[in-house]
Amino acid sequence: MADAAVTAKGIPRDVDKPAAVDLLRQMLLIRNFEDKAAEMYAKGKIGGFLHLYNGEEAVAVGAISVLRKEDLVVTHYRDHGHALAKGSDPGRCMAELFGKATGLCKGKGGSMHFCDASVGILGGYAIVAGHLPLATGLAFAFQYQGKDNVVLCFFGDGATNGGDFHEALNLSSLWKLPVVFICENNLYGMGTALRKASALLDIHKKAAAYDMPGERVDGMDVFAVREATARAVAAARAGEGPTLLEALCYRFRGHSMADPVLYRGKEEEHVWRARDPITTLRARLEAEGVLSTEEYEALEREVTTRIEEAVRFAEGSPEPAPEELYTDVYARP
C-alpha cells in the first residue's frame, strides 16, 4: 500500500524536518477547528448541515502540500480541511460557519460551500459528484491558457457511483487534462457502506475504464498521500493527463452532526482510531527525533490559540447587512 519511497516509520527524503512538523501542525489545526465547530454547533452558533473531517486530515494535508499557490482545489461539502490546508484563514472559515459578514463567502455559503479564491480553493459543493465536471473545466482552462497548473478534486467514495463521475473522468482523460481526482474513501456514504453501494470495491481500479492511472494510498499516512499526489501532479503538469487516487481513510464522526452513527460497529471504529493520522505522525516524528514532547505540546498550544482567536473573530463579527440578501445574484443588478 504505502510506497517504497516512504520507509515504514521514517520521513521521506524530500520532506525536511520543518516541513514534516508543518504537516502535523496543519493536521492539528484542522482537527481542532472541527472539534470547535462541533462544540459551536451544539451551542446553536452554527446552523444547517455540518460535516466534519476528523480522521481524514492526512488526505487534505498530504495532497495539498504538493501544490503551488496558483493550483486549484475543488471539493465537496466536507470541505473545512481542504480550505485550511490550502491556506484559508481559520477566523474567516469560522465566521462563515457562524453566518457572519466576515466569512469566506460573506456568510452566504455556510459549512458546505467554503470558497476562497485568494488561496485557490474554488469551492465546496453540496451536490454529490456535481463538482467533478467543474474540475474538468477548470483543468481545461489551465491547459487552454498554456499554464502548467493543476486542479485537485476531492470527493467521497459515494460520489464514484454517480453519472457525473463517469463523465468527468472520461472527458478529462480524453482531453489529457491536468486534474487529479482524489477519492476520500472513508468506506461510507452517509449510512450506506461502500460494499452496498459500489459493485467494484477497489475504487482506484475504476481508472482503467478511462485509460488513466489509478492508485490506492493509505489515507491515514500523510507522507503516503503526499508522495502519490506528487507523482500524479507531476504527470498532470507534464501534460500526461489525469490520475485517480483512492485514499483509504475513515471519518471518526458521523456523516453530519445529525447522524447518530447506528450503522457501523464500535470495533471497526476502534481499529481505525488506533490509526489516527495525527497520533501516528506524532509518534513517527518523535521516533525520528524530529519532535520532542515539549515541542508537540507547544504545537498544540499554538493551534488551540489560533482556533480560539478564530472563534473570537467569528463571534465578534457582524451579521451580513440585510441589503446583502440581494447582492451577487447577478454581476450587475
Partner 1 sequence: MPVVTFREAVAEVLREEMRRDPRIFLLGEDIVDYGGTYGVTRGFAEEFGEKRVKDTPIAESVIIGAAVGAAMGGLRPVAELMNINFAMQAMDQIVNSAAKVRYMFGGQTSAPVVIRTAGGSGVQLAATHSQNFEVYFAHMPGLKVAIPATPKDAKGLLTTCIRGEDPVLFVEHAALYGTRGEVPEGELLIPLGQAEVKRAGKDLTLISYSRMLLLVLEAASRLGKEGIEAEVVDLRSLRPLDVATIVTSVRKTNRALIVEEDWYSFGVGAEVAARIQEEAFDDLDAPVMRVAVEEVPLPYAKNLEKLAIPNVDRIIAGVKRLLGR
Positions touching ligand TPP (CB under 6 A) are 78, 126-128, 155-159, 184, 186, 188-190, 255
Q: Which does 186 bind (CB under 5 to 8 A by kind): partner 1, ligand TPP, none?
A: ligand TPP
**125 or 223: whose CB is closer to partner 1?**
125
Our finding on whether 187 is near partner 1 (CB under 8 A) is no
Whether 70 and 120 have beta carbons less than 8 Å apart is answered as yes
Span of 30-38, 80-88, 184-192, 287-295 interacting with partner 1 by CB under 8 A: 184-192
Our finding on whether 322 is near partner 1 (CB under 8 A) is yes
**What is the spatial distance between Cα 127 and Cα 58, in angstroms, rounded to a whole number?**
24
Our finding on whether 80 is near partner 1 (CB under 8 A) is no
**134 or 290: whose CB is closer to partner 1?**
134
**25 or 253: whose CB is closer to ligand TPP?**
253
- The SS3 assignment for 286 reads helix
Our finding on whether 326 is near partner 1 (CB under 8 A) is yes
Nearest approach, Cβ of residue 246 and partner 1 (Å): 16
Which phi and psi angles does 192 have, rounded to 5°?
A: -100, 120
**What is the spatial distance between Cα 30 and Cα 79, in angstroms, rounded to a whole number?**
11
User: Rounded to a whole number, what is the largest CA-CA distance in the chain?
Assistant: 60
C-alpha cell recorded at residue 257: 452532526
Q: Which does 2 bind (CB under 5 to 8 A by kind): ligand TPP, partner 1, none?
A: none
- Going by the DSSP 8-state scheme, the letter that residue 91 receives in this structure is H
**116 or 227: whose CB is closer to partner 1?**
116
Q: Is the dihedral of CA 13, 55, 250, 47 positive or negative?
A: negative
Q: Which does 163 bind (CB under 5 to 8 A by kind): partner 1, ligand TPP, none?
A: partner 1
With CB under 8 A as the rule, give the number of residues binding partner 1. 43
The DSSP bridge partners found for residue 247 are 184, 217
Nearest approach, Cβ of residue 197 and partner 1 (Å): 4
Whether 56 and 184 have beta carbons less than 8 Å apart is answered as yes
Q: How far is CA 246 from CA 27, 141, 229, 253, in A?
A: 19, 25, 10, 20
Which phi and psi angles does 46 have, rounded to 5°?
A: -120, 135
CB atoms within 10 A of CB 162: 16
Our finding on whether 126 is near partner 1 (CB under 8 A) is yes
* Contacting partner 1 within 87-116 (CB under 8 A): 96, 99-100, 105-113
Q: Which does 8 bind (CB under 5 to 8 A by kind): ligand TPP, partner 1, none?
A: none
**What is the spatial distance between Cα 223 and Cα 7, in angstroms, rounded to a whole number?**
10
Q: Which does 325 bind (CB under 5 to 8 A by kind): partner 1, ligand TPP, none?
A: partner 1
Give the residue among 299, 294, 172 at the shortest CA–CA distance from 235.
172
Span of 125-133, 242-250, 273-281, 290-298 interacting with partner 1 by CB under 8 A: 125-133
* Contacting partner 1 within 133-162 (CB under 8 A): 158-159, 161-162
**273 or 301: whose CB is closer to ligand TPP?**
273
Q: How far is CA 257 from CA 23, 28, 31, 298, 307, in A?
A: 27, 20, 15, 30, 20
Our finding on whether 282 is near partner 1 (CB under 8 A) is no
